[in-house]
């Protein structure tokens, strides 16, 4: 390769490496700020600010959803596997909101460590399955659990 | 002398006239292949693939959303590499490819963002959030727009090409950020379904049409990039003998395309 072209090639590579390094360092410094939500553990440990509008995300705990009979009020718990956070919300829950699925609640954490949410978003996972396969899988899972219980 | 002969093929590739004539022969085949693959993929994905257990039919927007996002990212590398080749070898054709790639990438990025918003409403409960994935994808749209507008910001084509190439190269840092954003930060957007290292977390009946659609979008991208580059060649080389000859020949495009 011609020496002038080699020089330009080196300049181009240097440009890409230098910008990547600069942006990489900035992102590393701001890494926590890039997060869209806090985990229940961060909120319960006091790492997340109190009384400030924030988002909390986690898995909706099975059997934790309670609804009022005469209003849109609902209460449920979200967990990240370490801590559990109670969320209260008055409004329509998204279609994909369900126990055992991930959800993100926006609002403020009150003194009783309950998140008073003004918006609930459902966070779906990256798995896609046809209904029959999903049914068959949950059926097989139940069977296996029954067998295990029988063995005990 | 030896060095020169080794790089000769590369310089021939850089001839706009050679590119115009060669791609002219490919166009009919590429168009038919693109159309066929896209029709097969769309009918398969939209009509025959099973609905998702949780999302129902709304998940089918994946057959547009994911291929458009794929090509928005891959197309950026194509644009940036074309810009780099232009900067290093001062190759005119390469800069034309870069200029041609920018609006295609911008449209694909817009499609990815738009289908994502349409999909987000029924699944997440919102059209838009400022999470790392969606925000970095918006930055990609601005980068494409930046390269596009730089092409028209200078009187000299050469200066515009160099400025565009430098911005394109600087912007490449955003591509791995978009790709890894769902792993590096907590985002509303779910992690990747199609992974490099493990099997896709999608049933094969749903995944196969998605692969066909991704292939179809690659073909479509190649087709549109070639068409766009050809028109840029004609515009920039309009004063050369071969383009004048081409314009004067009665049957124009068809007669020259085949030789």
Q: pLDDT per residue over B37-70, tens digit each?
A: 999 999 999 999 999 988 999 999 999 999 999 9
Q: How many Å apart are CA B54 and CA A128, to the nearest integer? A: 8
Using only C-alpha atoms, chain B has a radius of gyration, in whole angstroms, of 21
Average pLDDT over residues B165-179: 96
pLDDT at B99 over 80: yes
Average pLDDT over residues B81-110: 96
A14: nearest Cα among B153, B127, B207, B166: B166
Q: Is residue A138, in this structure, part of any structural domain at all?
A: no
pLDDT at A19 over 80: yes
Asked if A109 and A45 sit in the same domain, the reply is yes
Distance between B4 CA and the closest CA of chain A, angstroms: 8
Q: Which of A103, A126, A135, A139 is the best mutation test for B, with the most CBs of B within 10 A? A: A126
Within 8 A of B95 by CB-CB distance, chain A residues are none
Residue of A nearest to B53 (CA): A131
pLDDT at B146 over 80: yes
Tell me which of A27-31, A35-39, A74-78, B26-30 is least confident: A27-31
Counting one residue from A and one from B, how many pairs have CB atoms under 8 Å apart?
A: 126
Asked if A95 and A119 sit in the same domain, the reply is yes
The residue that leads in pLDDT, B142 or A28, is B142
pLDDT at A127 over 60: yes
| Res B258: pLDDT | 47
Q: Is residue A131, in this structure, part of any structural domain at all?
A: no
**Cβ of A34 under 8 Å from any chain B Cβ?**
yes
Within 8 A of A95 by CB-CB distance, chain B residues are 122-123, 125
pLDDT at A121 over 80: yes
**Are the Cβ atoms of A34 and B191 closer than 8 angstroms?**
no
- Asked whether the beta carbons of A117 and A144 are under 8 A apart, the reply is no
- Tell me the pLDDT band of B253, cut-offs 50, 70 and 90: low
Within 8 A of A39 by CB-CB distance, chain B residues are 186
**Are the Cβ atoms of A36 and B190 closer than 8 angstroms?**
no
Q: Is residue A149, in this structure, part of any structural domain at all?
A: no
pLDDT at B145 over 60: yes
Asked if A45 and A67 sit in the same domain, the reply is yes
CATH code of residue A50: 2.40.50.140
pTM listed for this prediction? 0.89
Q: Is residue A144, in this structure, part of any structural domain at all?
A: no
**Are the Cβ atoms of B186 and A132 closer than 8 angstroms?**
no
Domain that holds residue A46: 36-123
Where b means 16+ CB within 10 Å and e means fewer, B36-58 reads: ebbeebbebbeeebeebbbbeeb
**Structure-token pair, residue A19:** 């910008």
Asked if A84 and A115 sit in the same domain, the reply is yes
| Minimum-distance CB partner of A131 among B51, B130, B185 | B51
Give percent of chain B with pLDDT exceeding 90.
78
Alpha carbon of B134 to those of A34, A91, B113, B115, B138: distances in Å? 12, 26, 8, 12, 6
Asked if A80 and A109 sit in the same domain, the reply is yes
The residue that leads in pLDDT, B38 or A31, is B38
The chain-wide mean pLDDT, for chain A, equals 89
pLDDT at A70 over 70: yes
B172: nearest Cα among B232, B82, B48: B82
Distance between A138 CA and the closest CA of chain B, angstroms: 12
pLDDT at B252 over 60: no
- Asked whether the beta carbons of B101 and B75 are under 8 A apart, the reply is yes
B139: nearest Cα among B171, B107, B169: B171
The chain-wide mean pLDDT, for chain B, equals 91
Q: Is residue A152, in this structure, part of any structural domain at all?
A: no
Average pLDDT over residues B176-195: 92
**Structure-token pair, residue A32:** 């926590």
Asked if A67 and A21 sit in the same domain, the reply is no
Angle (CA) A51-A71-A109 rounded to 5° is 10
**Cβ of A4 under 8 Å from any chain B Cβ?**
no
| Res A136: pLDDT | 82
- Tell me the pLDDT band of B14, cut-offs 50, 70 and 90: confident
Per-residue pLDDT tens for A88-107? 999 989 888 999 999 999 99
pLDDT at B140 over 80: yes
Asked if A9 and A45 sit in the same domain, the reply is no
Asked if A103 and A50 sit in the same domain, the reply is yes
Q: Is residue A141, in this structure, part of any structural domain at all?
A: no
Please report the ipTM that was assigned to this predicted complex: 0.84
| Res B259: pLDDT | 45
| Minimum-distance CB partner of B188 among A9, A36, A126 | A36
Output the DSSP codes for chain B. -HHHHHTHHHHHHT-HHHHHHHHHHHHHHHHHHHHHHHHHHHHIIIIISPPBTTTBGGGGGHHHHHHHHHHHHHHHHHHHHHHHHHHHH--HHHHHHHHHHHHHHHHHHHHHHHHHHHHHHHHTS-S----HHHHHHHHHHHHHHHHHHHTTS-SSHHHHHHHHHHHHHHHTTHHHHHHHHHHHS--SSPPPSS-SSS--SB-HHHHHHHHHHHHHHHHHHHHHHHHHHHHHHHHHTTTSHHHHHHHHSTTTHHHHHT-
Distance between A98 CA and the closest CA of chain B, angstroms: 10
pLDDT at B79 over 60: yes
Domain ranges of chain B: 30-257
Asked if A41 and A113 sit in the same domain, the reply is yes
The residue that leads in pLDDT, A144 or B205, is B205
Number of domains, chain A: 2
| Minimum-distance CB partner of B88 among A5, A20, A131 | A5
Asked if A23 and A93 sit in the same domain, the reply is no
Distance between A148 CA and the closest CA of chain B, angstroms: 27
Asked if A26 and A43 sit in the same domain, the reply is no
pLDDT at B221 over 70: yes
| Res A16: pLDDT | 94
Q: How many Å apart are CA A85 and CA A56, to the nearest integer? A: 9
Average pLDDT over residues B102-123: 96
Distance between B87 CA and the closest CA of chain A, angstroms: 7
Q: How many Å apart are CA B77 and CA A134, to the nearest integer? A: 38
pLDDT at B256 over 70: no
The residue that leads in pLDDT, B78 or A144, is B78
**Cβ of A124 under 8 Å from any chain B Cβ?**
yes
Three-state secondary structure readout of chain A: CCHHHHHHHHHHHHHHHHHHHHHHHHHHHCHHHHCCCECHHHHHCCCCCCCCCEEEEEEECCCCCEECCCCCEEEEEEECCCCEEEEEEECCCCCCCCCCCEEEEEEEECCCCEEEEEEEEEECCCCECCHHHHHHHHHHHHHHHHHHHHHC
């Amino acid at each position: 390769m011609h020496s002038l072209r080699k020089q330009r090639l080196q300049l181009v590579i240097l440009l890409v490496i230098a910008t990547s390094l600069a942006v990489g360092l900035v992102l590393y410094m701001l890494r926590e700020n890039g997060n869209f939500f806090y985990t229940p553990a961060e909120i319960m440990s006091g790492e997340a600010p109190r009384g400030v509008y924030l988002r909390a995300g986690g898995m909706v705990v099975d059997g934790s959803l309670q609804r009022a009979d005469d209003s849109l009020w609902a209460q449920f718990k979200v967990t990240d596997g370490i801590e559990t956070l109670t969320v209260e919300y008055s409004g329509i829950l998204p279609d994909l909101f369900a126990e055992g699925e991930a959800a993100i609640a926006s609002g403020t954490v009150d003194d009783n460590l309950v998140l008073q949410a003004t918006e609930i978003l459902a966070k779906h996972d990256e798995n896609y399955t046809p209904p029959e396969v999903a049914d068959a899988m949950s059926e097989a899972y139940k069977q296996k659990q029954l067998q295990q219980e029988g063995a005990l | 002398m030896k060095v020169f002969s080794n790089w000769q093929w590369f310089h021939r590739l850089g001839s706009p006239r050679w590119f115009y004539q060669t791609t002219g022969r490919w166009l009919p085949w590429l168009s038919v292949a693109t159309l066929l693959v896209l029709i097969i993929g769309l009918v398969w994905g939209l009509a025959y693939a099973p609905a998702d257990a949780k999302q129902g039919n709304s998940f089918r927007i994946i057959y547009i959303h994911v291929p458009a996002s794929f090509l928005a990212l891959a197309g950026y590398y194509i644009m940036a590499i074309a810009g780099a080749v232009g900067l290093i070898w001062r190759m005119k054709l390469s800069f034309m490819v870069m200029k041609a790639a920018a609006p295609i990438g911008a449209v694909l990025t817009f499609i990815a963002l738009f289908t994502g918003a349409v999909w987000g409403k029924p699944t997440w409960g919102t059209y838009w959030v400022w999470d790392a994935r969606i925000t970095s994808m918006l930055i990609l749209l601005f980068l494409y727009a930046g390269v596009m507008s730089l092409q028209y910001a200078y009187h000299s084509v050469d200066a515009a090409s160099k400025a565009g190439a430098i911005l394109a190269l600087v912007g490449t840092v955003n591509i791995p950020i978009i790709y890894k954003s769902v792993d590096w930060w907590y985002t509303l957007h779910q992690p990747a379904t199609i992974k490099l290292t493990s099997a896709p977390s999608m049933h094969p009946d749903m995944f196969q049409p998605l692969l066909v659609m991704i292939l179809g979008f690659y073909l479509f991208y190649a087709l549109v990039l070639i068409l766009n580059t050809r028109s840029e060649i004609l515009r920039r080389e309009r004063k050369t003998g071969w383009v004048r000859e081409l314009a004067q020949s009665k049957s124009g495009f068809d007669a020259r395309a085949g030789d």
